[in-house]
Chains A and B, each alone.
Chain A
Amino acid sequence: MNAQDRSGGGRRWLRGFARWESLLVVALVALIVLGNALSPFFLTAGNFSNLIAALMEVAIMALPMTLIIIAGEIDLSVESMAGLACALLGFLWAAGVPLAIGIPIVLLVGALGGLLNGLLVARGGLPSLVVTLGTLALFRGLALIVLGPRGISDFPAAFTEIGFGHVPGTLIPWPFVIFLGIAAVLGVVLHRTWLGRQVYAIGKNAGAARFSGVRVARVRIALFVLSGLISALAGIILTSRLSSARADAAQGMTLTVVTVVLLGGVNIFGGSGTIPGVVLAVLAVAVMQNALRLANVTVEVQSIALGLLLIISVVIPTFAHQAKSAIDRARRGRPPPADSVPSGEIALS
């Protein structure tokens, strides 16, 4: 994780970037063709609508996670924040608080949770990996304390419509619309505004960003607040979609969120990645899960494919890079550079 590795890796990712997104498109098309061969139902709108709806909480949380990872941090606590939002909403509803008040409270709690992460990381100077591991436990614990082992499920139909319903006259699920909306806004912010530029600068070299007058701590805090807020929103959508609130909701989702983000071509060490890439990755994962489901692979076992996909997505660019330089060398007819000898290989390039 030293600076040299980071910048070298960053450049490689940057160059491979446009190609990475096209690769995702190709993979997406291939999966659709494959799925269609597997089952005639694959391409039906109803089927597609179902498969996309089930992934939307993950997809929505992946968007702020993209910004956070580009800024060189990570937020492992998102699943617990979604769980806390779910539990809190259930608790408030059961206590007779109307949803019109309950939902804003839940969102506020999400933002506050994110603020806690942000303050500890940006002002306290603590590693986000450990801080959000701590709040991963903390927020889940709060969810358990708030709701206990209960399940709340008597939500009004109007509320469950958010997670379960479709845009009138179509089969497009509402959560997908919410996802695309957030993706569009964050995409513009990240790729077209100076705030987005600052996020990249922080991820590539936080020291230089700070010395250039970028308010690094403030940007980081804002990103964590955003992550908390949107995770709470995902929790609300999950509650609505399942029309039940439980303290263990969204457990294990962080893994999928991070996988989707990295699959979208975001560098785990920060500094590069795009929102369109992550959106494509969401679609690819949805299609893949659907294909596997039609092939009668259970959801649990699908995680094998997800994990392999994650690893391969990092291995391919590395090997493509190595293959390319090997070809270049062969073309020039020169021996391989000495820095590939076993002893001096790390970070000497």
Chain B
Amino acid sequence: MTESTHPPATTPSTPAGAIVPRAELVGISKRFGATQALDQVSLDLLPGEVHALVGENGAGKSTLVKILAGIHQPDSGTILLDGAPIQINGPARARALRIAVVHQEPRLFPDLTVAENVFIGHAPSGRVGTIDWRATRRAAEALFHELDVQLDVGAPVRGLSMADQQLIEIAKSLSLEARVLILDEPTASLSAHEVARLFAIVRRLRDRGVAILFVSHRLDEVFELCDRATVFRDGRHVTTRPTKELTTADLIRLMVGRAVSLFPKVETPMGDVLLEVDGLTRTGAFRDVRFSVRAGEILGFAGLVGAGRTEIARVLFGIDRRDGGTIRLGGKAVDFASPSAAMHAGIAYVPEDRHQEGLVLDFSIAQNVTLPILQRLFPRFLVRPSAERRVAREFTEQLNVRMTGVDQLVGALSGGNQQKVVLAKWLASKPRVLILDEPTRGIDIGAKVEVHRIVSELAASGLAVILISSDLPEVLAMSDRILVLHEGLVTAEIPHSRATEERVMFAATGSPSGVETEADGAVPAAGGQA
């Protein structure tokens, strides 16, 4: 990692000064069918800098990442590496050039060991060209030691957390002695302390002279980690500036092309307690969880990934069974054996994974919206397409889904509009309790604001809402109360008025001061305000 670059003397200087960029993209264009994904964009990455690339979905960030990764070829434009023009005609070539990409979702081999995943494609070979497994193992151990991470390199990747998998990707780029490291939304599925660990590692790599491109939706992270930021909009380069000269509002304005205000929280009167949970336990996931939600209330669930938030939602929605405790809905004890039972009782669940769990991408908007209510809508067994379209139109128009019509395939919509279709689907089921699991993950800022507005309005209309989110500003702004979980236990319950990032984080990390926070800031879990 101590390699020095040998720039040719004739390298043209750059706006950044005399330093030759590690990587420079000049006038890159790329078209897919009718879509101009990238239009004459330029970008330079300096050695020892973390460079943020931000933009809404469809701005061209991932196309650029894929061009650098060798997955796509640009239609025009040049790429320079340490001043020399190069062609990245495949992923293997990218690796040979020591350009490493950590994708949003780690692309590992679940059946292979951690060590092999790190070294796949370039494992140390022994005599007669066969792979030297002992050397591979030792080298992997050394890498994780260097990263200050404890991981059994002989274990298979299957079953490892997202964060651990991401670290394996980083170890992989270390093993390549990457000159350029591209992090594509690396924090999307990480909890706060995992993010902190990742950032520490990224800074260490930066200090070694690696040029790092950091693609993220989380603007707070951009300011925390990055030296410069480049903004893309609609496939065009908007600006590149030092982050010191920018504010969050600037960035948002540059990204969306207009000013938007985040989190339109509406204060609403609350009704009776709708959902009451006491002593809820599922072995290995969470235990003794106690809370209640009122009609019109938004209850936020904060906590690190793996704290048990999604697991609670899954039990409430009948996907998993509880091992103990009670759930009361509208005062009646309930026990759901299946999602359909929970649904019929008036619970709706917008899952974390839109593509795998939220939608049937190959179905039309109308077919998706009516899927949960088919039996209710068509008690005489036969589906009437006209009635189906009418219902779908009613709810999608209410949520302002941008579409050509309800017969359009959901897969053709943008992420934000897809999420609105998921919401429309559950609104059509006329729920009393709405559980949202990371509802704004991976959707762009414009859509995010709309989702927030919709959720607020729904609560105002008398729904009890449970909002699970790893986006702290979102939970803080949207929730009337916040329930904080740590390793399957409720560590704090904080009312909106007292909620601060620090308080939530303390409780979420289970640190001793978190308990203090609970003592002075929390109210009793259930029925306290009755």
Contacts and interface: CB of A to CB of B under 8 A. Distances in A.
Contacts of A201: 360, 363, 367, 371
Contacts of A339: 71-72
A338 B358 contact: no
A211 B70 contact: no
A205 B343 contact: no
A19 interface: no
B66 to A, nearest CB: 8
Contacts of B356: 3, 205, 207-208
A216 to B, nearest CB: 9
Contacts of A194: 374-375, 377-378, 381, 383
B359 interface: yes
B382 interface: yes
Given A195-B381, A208-B357, A344 B75 contact: no
Given A338-B73, A343-B90, A193 B381 contact: yes
Interface in A177-210: 192-198, 200-201, 204-205, 207-210
Interface string B64-81: 000000111101000000
A212 B89 contact: no
Given A193-B383, A194-B375, A212-B371, A205 B361 contact: yes
Contacts of A196: 383
Given A211-B349, A339-B72, A343-B90, A204 B383 contact: no
Nearest to B349: A211
Nearest to B342: A213
Most chain A beta carbons < 10 A, residue from B340, B353, B377: B340
Most chain B beta carbons < 10 A, residue from A7, A272, A334: A7
Contacts of B363: 200-201, 204
Contacts of A343: 70, 89-92
B355 A3 contact: yes
A318 to B, nearest CB: 18
A213 B91 contact: no
A10 B75 CA distance: 29
A205 B360 contact: yes
Given A192-B382, A194-B381, A213-B340, A207 B367 contact: no
Given A341-B89, A341-B90, A197 B374 contact: yes
Interface in B310-361: 317, 319, 338-340, 342-344, 349, 351, 353, 355-361
A198 B372 CA distance: 10
B383 A211 contact: no
A209 B92 CA distance: 38
B340 A205 contact: no
Contact of A338 (B72, B342, B344, B382): B72
A200 B342 CA distance: 22
Given A201-B360, A205-B359, A7 B367 contact: no
A124 interface: no
A211 B48 CA distance: 46
Interface string B206-230: 0000000000000000000000000
A214 interface: yes
B383 A212 contact: no
A271 B362 contact: yes
B279 interface: no
A337 B32 contact: yes
Nearest to B358: A208
A202 to B, nearest CB: 9
Interface string A86-122: 0000000000000000000000000000000000000
How extensive is the interface on chain A, given as a class?
Answer: 35 or more
B362 A334 contact: no
A344 B66 CA distance: 11
Interface string A329-343: 000001101110111
B425 interface: yes
B75 A213 contact: no
B498 interface: no
A14 interface: yes
A212 B71 contact: no
Contacts of B351: 211
B411 interface: yes
A269 to B, nearest CB: 11
Contact of B360 (A208, A341, A342, A348): A208
Contacts of A193: 378, 381-383
Contact of B372 (A204, A205, A212, A342): A212
Contacts of A328: 33
Nearest to A344: B71
Nearest to A338: B73
A11 interface: yes
A215 interface: yes
A271 B362 CA distance: 9
Contacts of B357: 207-208, 210-211
Contact of B367 (A197, A210, A214, A271): A197
Contacts of A207: 353, 356-357
A197 B388 CA distance: 12
B371 A197 contact: yes
A7 B319 CA distance: 24
Given A14-B362, A196-B383, A210-B339, 12 more contacts: A7-B411, A193-B378, A205-B361, A207-B357, A213-B339, A213-B342, A213-B343, A213-B372, A214-B371, A271-B362, A272-B362, A344-B91
26 contacts: A3-B356, A7-B361, A7-B362, A10-B362, A11-B409, A192-B382, A194-B383, A197-B367, A200-B363, A201-B360, A208-B360, A211-B319, A211-B358, A212-B339, A213-B342, A213-B343, A213-B372, A213-B429, A271-B362, A334-B75, A338-B71, A339-B71, A339-B72, A341-B73, A344-B71, A344-B72
Interface of A: 3, 7, 10-11, 14, 192-198, 200-201, 204-205, 207-215, 271-272, 328, 334-335, 337-339, 341-344, 348
